[in-house]
Amino acid sequence: MSKSIKVAVLGAAGRMGATVCRAVEEAADLELVARLDAGDTVDADALAGADVAIDFTVPAATEANVHAVLDAGAHAVVGTTGWDEASRGRVTEHLERVNAARAGQDGLGVLIAPNFGLSAVLAMTFAAKAARYFESAEVVELHHPDKVDAPSGTARHTAAAIARARSEAGLAAMPDATETGVEARGADVDGVRVHAVRLRGLVAHEEILFGNVGEQLVIRQDSFDRASFMPGVLLAVREVVSRPGLTVGLENVLDLS
């Protein structure tokens, strides 16, 4: 039997963190060696020899956690949102430094996923493929009211992928004659409007709407329980140990060609 992957969970006391801990404990090829939460120091001693640290904390803490994990010599899988180009760039630079110093050792990897739900990843992938064929596109994300960021990382990732596909296809800006009440049109993510709903009873949901004259395409994804994210989280843990550098998006470790 191959050696099990040792895992530490950051944000272990939260709802997602607790679910991740249970999933790791139930996986035959993984071993949960540390549970950390707010106020705990993230260093080699606290990580207790973990090969991979999973971060489900808060946007204000996640980047510092990742840097600390790398300094401790572990890989990182990140489900916390709030990342932007600048913070991802700092992690890339840190990875280059630590991996250059790891002579004779495998390079460290960081996998940041806006969403670990397989249905969500597929929805984002389908949306990117469809974007070049429609004049209009908008994204609606729906979450529970305890979520601290808006729009969600998933929605931003989706909108950015749509925008890239439209740009590569040479499409013009989407039609929008709005002159008043522009604030009601949602956030502008690279020219794609994103609307955020916060409602008790929801977990995580996304609709991507495309329109042409006389037709509409709607791609919808619903996550009803946090357990739905666990197959993606465990896949990321198994993959990140053999993927040096920064990987953004679970779609990059799935065979979606």
Catalytic residue numbers?
A: 143, 147
| Structure token digits, residue 55 | 């971060």
CA 250-242-108 angle, 5° bins: 95
Torsion angles phi and psi, residue 130, rounded to 5: -80, -25
Beta bridge partners of 10: 36, 55
**Please, what is the end-to-end C-alpha distance for the chain in angstroms?**
31
Omega prior to 151 cis, within 30 of 0? yes
Place of tokens 């992938």: 125
CA 121, CA 249: separation in Å to the nearest integer?
A: 8
H-run or E-run covering 215: strand 215-223
202 residue type, one letter: L
* Strand duo 187-189 + 192-198: pairing: antiparallel
**Which of 155, 116, 120, 121 has its CA nearest to residue 137?**
155
Burial class (CB in 10 A: 0-12, 13-18, 19+), 97: exposed
Q: Decide if 46 contacts 74 (C-beta within 8 A).
A: no
Q: For residue 192, what are the CA distances in angstroms to 125, 128, 156?
A: 16, 12, 9
